[in-house]
Amino acid sequence: MRGLSALVKPINACQKWIVPAGITHFSTKAQPKQWPRKIISGIQPTGVLHIGNYFGAVQRWVQMQESGENVIIFLADLHSMTMPYEPAQLRENIYELTATLLACGIDTKKTPIFLQSTIPQHAELCWILSCLCTMLRLSHLPQFKEKSAEVKDIYTGLFMYPVLQAADILMHKATHVPCGEDQLQQLQLAAHLAKVFNTKFGETFPIIEPMIGQDASGRIRSLRDPSKKQSKSDPSDQSRIIMRDSPAAIRKKIKRAITDFTSEVTYDPENRPGVSNLVGIHALVKNVSPQEICDQSKELDTGKYKLVLAEDLVSLLDPIRLKIEDYLKNRDYLDSVLKEGRDVAAQTAEATMKEVKSRIGVNILQNCR
């Protein structure tokens, strides 16, 4: 089994995090107290991860872990219940996701992984925060509008999703959250609720800062329709490369990827979205800029270029696939990973809720044995 160092690449000049300008809710000037830097991120166990998830989230977590950041990761199984699901499949997805994170290089001695539902304080804090949030504000959030349009009966959980997300973050007193631009409004809500709570009950939570990746990882498009993001929910499995795809499947999907009638390999997302999507993926695989990929591919037409990209993807992903399969053969070990993560997260959650209950006036029996 190859060492993790072979799978973890340093962040180059093309891979940066930014705090978006013009969002006053996230201004560090609003921080009256200096909180220790802590990064939290959650991921739903709703299916096998694809390369968009890998480059946009998991690889970044590994990079932050290796740079010495204080990072904690949770599997957001409660969030995955906001839409119809099968219990047996959810259970399998949890194991699959845990194995994938480990195979990609997450070291649980440095970065704990816990299952959201094993920390009941998340739901408890969600209720407290919901009493500080208005229905009007929740109804305006884009995720609710988007997902509620897909179902006939709208579950309350879907409406409350952003409040639980805020509880996930505030529970562990995180200062930074990696995210995509489409999640900014939910993080604004979390920052807003932290401010409301602090103003009403005394300073308890840091005001979070979003961390937005500034490379192509947040813009990986569908291989079948470059106008759409690569997604786990796309009905066509040909639209995405998943972390457990075999070498043959990867080659087939890249070969069939939509491009155009121009044979030259160029990076022009607006006018050539298909080939630019492939170049962007390739740049992430090789950890270089899209222009460098184009310069290296001057002698290739798009057909031959696809073959090169496919082989580079196989070289990166196949060792990870084999590691995932090895981990899935040992469910007891995966259980132990989640148990250790739960124990770490529970200490923070207990301390936070003890403080919260004291501040809001419901700590009457808190010190009774």
Active-site annotation holds for 304: no
Residue in 2, 368, 52, 92 with CA at minimum distance from that of residue 218: 52
CA–CA separation, 344 vs 342, rounded Å?
5
Pairing of strands 71-75, 209-213: unpaired
CB-based contacts of 89-93 (< 8 A; 24+ apart in sequence)? 90/45, 93/45, 93/46, 93/47
The contacts of residue 293 (CB under 8 Å, 6+ apart) are 265, 267, 279, 282, 283, 286
Catalytic residue chosen out of the listed positions 9, 110, 195, 232: 232
H or E segment and range at residue 113: strand 113-115
Catalytic residue chosen out of the listed positions 38, 173, 229, 323: 229
* DSSP state at residue 82: G
CA–CA separation, 158 vs 80, rounded Å?
10
Count of residues for the chain? 369
Active-site annotation holds for 232: yes
36: amino acid identity, one letter: P
Active-site annotation holds for 354: no
CA–CA separation, 208 vs 41, rounded Å?
12
Residue in 62, 50, 70 with CA at minimum distance from that of residue 5: 62
- C-alpha distances in angstroms, 269 versus 61, 176, 275, 290, 328? 27, 30, 8, 11, 38
Catalytic residue chosen out of the listed positions 9, 110, 147, 195: 147
Burial of 17 from C-beta contacts in 10 A (0-12 / 13-18 / 19+)? middle
**Where does residue 183 fall: left (phi above 0), alpha (psi -120 to 50 degrees), or beta otherwise?**
alpha
CA–CA separation, 285 vs 55, rounded Å?
9
- Active-site residues, by number, are 147, 229, 232
